[in-house]
Structure 1
């Protein structure tokens, strides 16, 4: 069993739910988060209030899953990212679990 963490912009929410299901990961949690990138973007430079910084609406998903399910999810996420027309790819990491109850 390992812990998989996935982050994405809010717009990909429904697609990520489908990818988790397709990978066989049926139990997971999600949370709203603010995503930030360093550096001035064109959008920030054109803002009425350029001194104000705000995050992008994003989501984080996490699940304790079997290694084969995680491998399937990573393959699906990789394929999804290859077809994006945006500069906001889905990010994912896997962490080993030393102990659990």
Structure 2
């Protein structure tokens, strides 16, 4: 069992959902989030609410699933990211789950 987390800008939300379906992952959760990107070298903590940050409407998905389904999704994600025209490709991380009930 692994934890898969994907972030995407809001405009790619439907494409992200399609990735889950193609991989056979039919149960997942999502939430709207705000992404921030600093335009300078300042520490983000020092600049957390500054007007010099770019606020990007984003979405975060997560699911607990089997490794073979994650591998399939990551391959499809790589293909999708080749077509992303913005500077905001979809990002994924996979974490091993040691214990669960």
Q: TM-score, structure 2 length as denominator?
A: 0.85
Give the superposed CA RMSD.
1.5
Deviates more, 1:25-34 or 1:50-59: 50-59
Which structure 2 segments of 5+ residues have no match?
41-49
Q: How many residues align?
A: 92
In structure 1, distance between residues paired with 2:21 and 2:36:
28
Q: Is the 8 A contact 2:39 2:53 kept in 1?
A: no
Q: Assess if the C-alpha contact under 8 Å between 2:33 and 2:57 holds in 1.
A: yes
Q: More helix by proportion, 1 or 2?
A: 1
Q: Which runs of 4+ in 1 moved over 6 A?
A: none
- CA deviations 1:62-82 (Å, max 9, x no partner) are 000100000000000000001
Kept in 1, the 8 Å contact 2:32–2:59? The answer is yes
Q: CA deviation at 1:38?
A: 1.9
